[in-house]
């Protein structure tokens, strides 16, 4: 993966300069719904366009520096506004945090496969007040704030002066 990250750093500007490209990363190439297990540059575009609608310099090549590319359509990317204000209902993209932690982003609403319960997804340090699964300092039932603690303090400081 280090080879891929190094190649990404080298080629990031080239990818992001292409028409229709909104992001780039590294991961594993998918064909349809199947993960091929092959490391690849993941190139995110607003809309997949026929090659005939793009100039040659804006067509994502099948390989770059010997590594495959995977073009993924993701739609229009836009900022949803300030994420640190208190908002009900809270939605993905908003600031949240364990009451003893700082703050982070509410990532997504997910469903437990076994119980079908709806849950929120974020990073461990945001919801469990720890840096790893071994470092969890939270207990079931602990409050999660919205916005997260440090964002609440920042909003108060901003408003007062």
First to last CA, the chain: 47
pLDDT at 22: 92
Composition of the chain by helix, strand, coil, percent to 5: 25, 30, 45
Alpha helices in 96-148 (DSSP H): 124-127
pLDDT at 161: 53
Segments making up each domain of the chain, as ranges:
2-73, 95-160
Q: Could you tell me which of 21, 71, 13 has the C-alpha nearest to residue 42? A: 71
Spans in the chain with pLDDT lower than 70: 1, 79-81, 132-134, 153-161
pLDDT at 59: 92
pLDDT at 111: 93
Fold of the CATH domain 2-73 = GMP Synthetase; Chain A, domain 3 (3.30.300)
Contact 146, 106 (CB under 8 A): yes
pLDDT at 159: 59
pLDDT at 155: 55
pLDDT at 42: 94
Q: Name the pairing type of β-strands 67-73 and 34-45.
A: parallel
Residue ranges of E strands in 62-161: 63-64, 67-73, 95-98, 104-105, 108-111, 118-121, 144-145
| Gyration radius from the chain CA atoms | 20
83-89's contacts with Cβ under 8 Å and 24+ in sequence apart are: 83/147, 83/151, 84/147, 84/151, 84/152, 84/154, 84/155, 85/147, 85/155, 86/146, 86/147, 87/146
């Amino acid at each position: 993966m280090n080879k891929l990250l190094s190649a990404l750093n080298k080629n990031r500007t080239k990818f992001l300069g292409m028409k229709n490209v909104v992001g780039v990363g590294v991961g594993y190439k998918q064909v349809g719904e199947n993960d091929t297990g092959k490391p690849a540059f993941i190139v995110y575009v607003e809309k997949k366009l026929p090659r005939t609608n793009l100039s040659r310099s804006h067509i994502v090549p099948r390989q770059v520096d010997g590594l495959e590319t995977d073009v993924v359509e993701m739609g229009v990317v836009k900022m949803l506004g300030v994420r640190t204000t208190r908002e009900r209902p809270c939605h993905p993209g908003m600031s949240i945090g364990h009451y003893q932690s700082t703050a982070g982003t509410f990532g997504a609403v997910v469903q437990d496969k076994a119980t079908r319960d709806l849950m929120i997804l974020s990073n461990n340090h945001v919801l469990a007040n720890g840096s790893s699964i071994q470092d969890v300092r939270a207990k079931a039932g602990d409050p999660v704030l919205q916005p997260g603690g440090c964002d609440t303090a920042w909003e108060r400081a901003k408003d007062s002066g």
